[in-house]
Chains A and B, each alone.
Chain A
Amino acid sequence: MSAVTSTAMTDDKPLLSVEHLTMRFGGLVANNDVSFVARAGEITALIGPNGAGKTTLFNCVTGFYTPTVGRLTLRHSDGKEFLLERMPGYRIAQQAGVARTFQNIRLFGGMSVLENLIVAQHNKLMRASGFAIAGLLGLPTYRAAENEALELAKYWLDRVKLTEFADWEAGNLPYGAQRRLEIARAMCTEPVLLCLDEPAAGLNPRESGDLAEILTFIRDARNPNGRQTGVLLIEHDMSVVMRISDHVVVLDYGRKISDGDPNSVKNDPAVIRAYLGEDEDADLPPEIAADLSVSAPAAQKGA
């Protein structure tokens, strides 16, 4: 893969750096020069009003779109670098280790819960089954790999409290359980970066509490070789965002308007203005006033 370059291992380098990302759909600018970083072992939340370009950014990171301008670099802890904007979608999941969930849940509804988690380990198992040939012959190497996959699936089933539903059709699960299953499925690919698109949408307060617990667990857990997973999160539920994120990036009309820890973002006037609308007479800090006059044309273009 030409997109892979090896560099010296440096711990302070972020897991994902997004640099000058711009995504245009014809005349519509969905993301305009967005730059930020996400680190392993942290939850980076991406917030913003509807239509701010959060999901578009997600689709760029996970390879569903190719950005018009910009660079997306993913660094593994062993020093490998992947330039995500140059890789086809499925390779980003397969090689770079980026897993995602979807805003409107996309499970394999006709398959059982357990099968959903086994399918997620497709590439590993495909290699072990010798591209189906060893598997067809029933060689023991494949059986061992399948048992291993089953163990991982069980582990995550246990984590998201779905063990008793393992043999259910995924489409028959209650809504909240489907959300959790989708996260478990993404985690079964053993990603270095987990991207969650509105995981708390439609959940009741107790369920979002459970979700926050799962996400903090994913953030804090280390896999056997000491690697931590980074979490990139789009969320509208501010209570969840403020409680669990380590780092918040705010988008509005495709531009980044704020970036920092939850508390500083919460009190950022630009953020307040984006969410609550602005008061014409209120005097704004000068740098935000300047920012506003730049973003106003973009806003019109975006609308």
Chain B
Amino acid sequence: MTMPSHAAGAPPHGAPHVAAKAVDWSGSLRDAGFAAFVALLLTVPLVGLRTIDRPTGLGIEARPEEVVASVLLVFFGRLGLGLIGQGLALPVLFLALAAAAVGLAIPLPTQVLRLVLVAGGGIIALRAAFAVTTHRSKLTLAERDRKMDRVAAQVQHATKYIAPVAFIGAVLLPMTPLADRQLLDIGILLLTYIMLGWGLNIVVGLAGLLDLGYVAFYAVGAYSYALLAHYFGLSFWVCLPLAGLLAAFSGVLLGFPVLRLRGDYFAIVTLGFGEIVRIILVNWYQFTGGPNGISGIPRPSFFGLAEFSRTPAEGMAAFHELFGLEFSPLHRIVFMYYLILALALAVNLFTLRIRKLPLGRAWEALREDEIASASLGINRTNMKLAAFAIAAMFGGFAGSFFATRQGFISPESFTFIESAIILAIVVLGGMGSQAGVVVATLLVIGLPEAFRELADYRMLAFGMGMVVIMLWRPRGLLAHRDPTILLHGGKKPATGGAAR
């Protein structure tokens, strides 16, 4: 379906508005009407009909007022956009602000309608404000791209200052009164995904290998710890490096046959590998517990010195007694939080450093052009295997952390959708960008967590966000690459070539 771009009277991009120009009301109305019609076609089946569970069976309930509301919103939104294009930005700005205010102030039948009204009004107001200040309705694609890249470059440079602040914030968070169980749990979840994102970034962002089965290594790590603890009673601190090693080994094992493939073929085989691992876990019932998973996975101790329970096992100290504290179940959560923070930071530091080393540069060269890399004597297979094994190792660490945090794992946790989410984080953030992974994790994992009360609509919002980002910034939010070595010091080249 194509949105009508025949908005009559829309001035050519970049041309200043002529104040005296007549407003093409009928054209704008027709355009908005068409958009509303498309919205009607879409919303009738998607929003207008709702299945409900009746004692007699499944029934259908019509929701006409929701449909009317959404169609009206689309109509006025499109009309507003059309009018901004014709020089009526100022009135549209006021109307949009008024709409947003109405959405905030007046109670509406559903929460969603309100969200759409506020967000839609806000966006159109922003657009109108932009038109008012610059006398232009729209940027060309190239201009927008350049502008976004400049923003990304600025953010990249700002991370030099933001990152330490964020780090200190993350360290201090458990000590603030805000830190309750829920917040720390969300923090741990976010940090786990950030770590996975940073790990996958090595393969996807640096080496340019589209790995759709990253969750397999996460699973290998988790099951390594769970099984080693279950069968041999090994502690978390012994298993953590072992899990990393086993995951790295499985990465090499997969890598050898697969790395000669390129592009799509490579992606499909990694996808298959992810599924193979999951299916083995489901079907090897005697060993892995099959779909029932493994429960009672031991919690980590305080570096083997003390336990986080009120009554520790024989011969172990209790953490709260060791430090003379009041017992609190929160201690373990805080410890977990710091543990995953340290693990994630280790991955980040590794990546930041490896980028400046020949190994990292060879990865980036392979991403840019494999043939040219080979002509310079770079051993492609070894380089890719290294990328694969290292990323798998970090996935394995994250997996064994996941196992010990949950205390229970089953193959359910390692489905393809997990791989897709981690990949989405990397791609949305901007391939190869460390800060981008953090921002994208906050968006992809954090926002749905924050808007839990919106239930299923958060997935709708998530999808919309993805579409918007793909339209506006197909290379990812913070896709800006800084050279790893500069000849002319820190100062930017006068012509701005590197920052284009």
- A residues within 8 A CB of B386? 132
B164-191 contacts to A (CB < 8 Å) = none
- With both chains docked as a complex, state the minimum distance between the C-beta of B390 and any C-beta of chain A, in angstroms: 9
User: Is B280's CB within 8 Å of the partner chain A?
Assistant: no
Tell me whether A167 and B493 are in contact in the complex, defined as CB-CB below 8 angstroms, given that A90-B380, A108-B369, A129-B357 are known contacts.
yes
In the complex, are the beta carbons of B378 and A90 less than 8 A apart?
yes
- B residues within 8 A CB of A102? 371-372, 375
Tally of A-B Cβ pairs under 8 angstroms: 138
User: Is A168's CB within 8 Å of the partner chain B?
Assistant: yes
A95 — nearest CB in chain B belongs to which residue? B377
Give B356-377 as 1s and 0s: 1 = Cβ < 8 Å from A's Cβ atoms: 0111011011011101111111
User: Is A99's CB within 8 Å of the partner chain B?
Assistant: yes
Tell me whether A136 and B365 are in contact in the complex, defined as CB-CB below 8 angstroms, given that A62-B375, A114-B487, A189-B377 are known contacts.
no
In the complex, are the beta carbons of A94 and B379 less than 8 A apart?
yes
Tell me whether A122 and B485 are in contact in the complex, defined as CB-CB below 8 angstroms, given that A135-B358, A136-B350, A167-B498 are known contacts.
no
In the complex, are the beta carbons of A172 and B364 less than 8 A apart?
no
B475-491 contacts to A (CB < 8 Å) = 481, 483-488
- A residues within 8 A CB of B354? 132, 136
In the complex, are the beta carbons of A169 and B498 less than 8 A apart?
yes
- B residues within 8 A CB of A90? 374, 377-380
B371 — nearest CB in chain A belongs to which residue? A106
- With both chains docked as a complex, state the minimum distance between the C-beta of B260 and any C-beta of chain A, in angstroms: 12
- A residues within 8 A CB of B358? 119, 122, 125-126, 129, 132, 135
Neighbour of A135 across the interface among B357, B372, B481, B483, CB < 8 A: B357
Neighbour of B483 across the interface among A112, A123, A157, CB < 8 A: A112
- With both chains docked as a complex, state the minimum distance between the C-beta of A177 and any C-beta of chain B, in angstroms: 11
- With both chains docked as a complex, state the minimum distance between the C-beta of B475 and any C-beta of chain A, in angstroms: 11
B390 — nearest CB in chain A belongs to which residue? A132
- Bound-state Cα–Cα, A172 to B497, Å: 7
- With both chains docked as a complex, state the minimum distance between the C-beta of B368 and any C-beta of chain A, in angstroms: 4
A172 — nearest CB in chain B belongs to which residue? B497
- B residues within 8 A CB of A131? 359
- A residues within 8 A CB of B50? none
B294-311 contacts to A (CB < 8 Å) = none
Neighbour of A122 across the interface among B361, B369, B481, B495, CB < 8 A: B361
- B residues within 8 A CB of A136? 350, 353-354, 357
User: Is B500's CB within 8 Å of the partner chain A?
Assistant: yes
- With both chains docked as a complex, state the minimum distance between the C-beta of B41 and any C-beta of chain A, in angstroms: 42
- With both chains docked as a complex, state the minimum distance between the C-beta of B128 and any C-beta of chain A, in angstroms: 35
Neighbour of B361 across the interface among A89, A95, A109, A118, CB < 8 A: A118
- Bound-state Cα–Cα, A260 to B373, Å: 34
In the complex, are the beta carbons of A89 and B374 less than 8 A apart?
yes
A101-147 contacts to B (CB < 8 Å) = 102, 106-112, 114-115, 118-120, 122-123, 125-126, 129, 131-132, 135-136, 142
User: Is A208's CB within 8 Å of the partner chain B?
Assistant: no
Q: How large is the interface on A (under 10, 10 to 19, 20 to 34, 35 or more residues)?
A: 35 or more
Tell me whether A150 and B368 are in contact in the complex, defined as CB-CB below 8 angstroms, given that A93-B375, A136-B354 are known contacts.
no
- With both chains docked as a complex, state the minimum distance between the C-beta of B375 and any C-beta of chain A, in angstroms: 5
- Bound-state Cα–Cα, A189 to B367, Å: 20
Give B55-92 as 1s and 0s: 1 = Cβ < 8 Å from A's Cβ atoms: 00000000000000000000000000000000000000
- Bound-state Cα–Cα, A111 to B366, Å: 11
- Bound-state Cα–Cα, A24 to B10, Å: 60
Q: How large is the interface on B (under 10, 10 to 19, 20 to 34, 35 or more residues)?
A: 35 or more
- Bound-state Cα–Cα, A229 to B243, Å: 50
- B residues within 8 A CB of A157? 487
- Bound-state Cα–Cα, A99 to B378, Å: 12
Neighbour of A91 across the interface among B369, B376, B377, CB < 8 A: B377
In the complex, are the beta carbons of B376 and A119 less than 8 A apart?
yes
- B residues within 8 A CB of A167? 483, 486-488, 493, 497-498
In the complex, are the beta carbons of A115 and B485 less than 8 A apart?
yes
- Bound-state Cα–Cα, A122 to B358, Å: 6
- Bound-state Cα–Cα, A44 to B76, Å: 72
B386 — nearest CB in chain A belongs to which residue? A132
In the complex, are the beta carbons of A94 and B359 less than 8 A apart?
no
- A residues within 8 A CB of B365? 108, 111, 119, 122
In the complex, are the beta carbons of A118 and B357 less than 8 A apart?
no
- Bound-state Cα–Cα, A64 to B373, Å: 12
Give B331-369 as 1s and 0s: 1 = Cβ < 8 Å from A's Cβ atoms: 000000000000000000010011001110110110111
Tell me whether A119 and B375 are in contact in the complex, defined as CB-CB below 8 angstroms, given that A114-B485, A136-B350, A169-B500 are known contacts.
no
Neighbour of B372 across the interface among A94, A107, A172, CB < 8 A: A107
B446-499 contacts to A (CB < 8 Å) = 481, 483-488, 493, 495, 497-498
- With both chains docked as a complex, state the minimum distance between the C-beta of B166 and any C-beta of chain A, in angstroms: 24
- Bound-state Cα–Cα, A163 to B485, Å: 14
- B residues within 8 A CB of A99? 375-376
- With both chains docked as a complex, state the minimum distance between the C-beta of B484 and any C-beta of chain A, in angstroms: 6
In the complex, are the beta carbons of B485 and A106 less than 8 A apart?
no
User: Is A166's CB within 8 Å of the partner chain B?
Assistant: yes
User: Is A65's CB within 8 Å of the partner chain B?
Assistant: no
A142-160 contacts to B (CB < 8 Å) = 142, 150, 154, 157
User: Is A165's CB within 8 Å of the partner chain B?
Assistant: yes
- Bound-state Cα–Cα, A264 to B459, Å: 76
User: Is A255's CB within 8 Å of the partner chain B?
Assistant: no
Other CB < 8 Å A-B pairs besides A111-B481, A112-B483, A132-B359, 18 of them? A64-B374, A93-B376, A94-B377, A99-B375, A106-B369, A106-B371, A108-B364, A108-B365, A108-B368, A111-B361, A111-B483, A112-B498, A115-B485, A122-B365, A122-B377, A129-B357, A132-B386, A164-B493
Would you give 25 A-B contacts (Cβ < 8 Å), ordered by A? A62-B375, A64-B371, A89-B375, A90-B374, A92-B377, A95-B377, A99-B376, A102-B371, A115-B361, A115-B485, A119-B358, A119-B365, A119-B376, A122-B358, A122-B376, A150-B485, A163-B487, A166-B488, A167-B487, A167-B493, A168-B495, A168-B497, A169-B497, A169-B498, A189-B376
9 nearest CB pairs, A to B: A93-B377, A94-B377, A112-B483, A166-B487, A168-B497, A108-B368, A106-B372, A125-B358, A135-B357
